Amino acid sequence: MKKYRLKVQNDIIYLFILLAITEFFSYLVLNTRGLALTITGGLGILLLETWFIRTFRLYSGKKISKYSDVIVRISLKERFFSYFVLPLLFYIAILAFIYFNRNVLLGHFVVGICMVLFLILFLNVKSSLNKIYSVANATRAIFDFVCITILYLLTNIFVRVGLSMWIFALVLFVTTLVLLLFSLKLHKKLGFVEILISQLSAIFITCITVIFWSTNIFVIPLVAALAFYLVISIWNIRFAGKIHLVDYILPFLYVVLALILILTI
């Protein structure tokens, strides 16, 4: 128990250092430009990747039994994207959001939420590494939320840089499709039919988001994130083998209630 507590403390230390670097990056965005921003962002990326590399090196092997010295190791190739590329994209999306965002309070709030998500991701990745042949279900859920957050952050950026509606729709479609394909890859469901469904789902998410194009810049990213959540939720219900209609209705109700709340605030 004491050893486990020490491991969690190490993760929290990593997280606080990452938070400090990210907040310093936010400070530099408001006060300076150039090399300092690049160096600070690079330090954050280096720290994040160092955690994942160190964790994978320490926990990717497991003895087949307590009576044997034979060690089974997790394939780096199989989990490279989920353990190294996706967290990198997530952090870069955070930095890009901070760079283009001019609402200081919103920036601090988003950074705080993302750091909590990183902590949960850290703990679940360690737990998942104990699953030699599969990714833990809880970790899949965390990766889904990471994808939703990435889409929210990137959609914020697309809106703030002043893209036209059609260019915005095209960029959003491509971004959404990539994230949906990753989700399928994580569930090991990446076949021809699934790719086709991903394309249709990306079109659906893009169309729903564009409908709210005339609203303010805070609503559009939230609508995109909600539509993405709806698609991912339905997929996860289907992957779990559930067939009851009520299981599929609940995500729709959650999204409708959230949308009503967003539009009335």
Give the model confidence (pLDDT) of 218-229 as tens digits.
Answer: 899 999 999 999
Indicate the range of 29-33, 151-155, 229-233, 250-254 predicted with least confidence.
Answer: 29-33
Contact between 232 and 189 under an 8 Å Cβ cutoff? The reply is: no
Contacts 24+ apart (CB under 8 A), 98-105: 98/22, 98/25, 98/26, 98/29, 99/29, 99/37, 100/156, 100/157, 100/160, 100/161, 101/156, 101/160, 104/30
Other C-beta atoms lying within 10 Å of the C-beta of residue 140: 18
pLDDT above 60 (res 195): yes
Q: What are the structural domain ranges in the chain?
A: 1-127, 136-265
pLDDT per residue over 105-127, tens digit each?
888 999 999 999 998 888 877 77
> pTM score, two decimals?
0.85
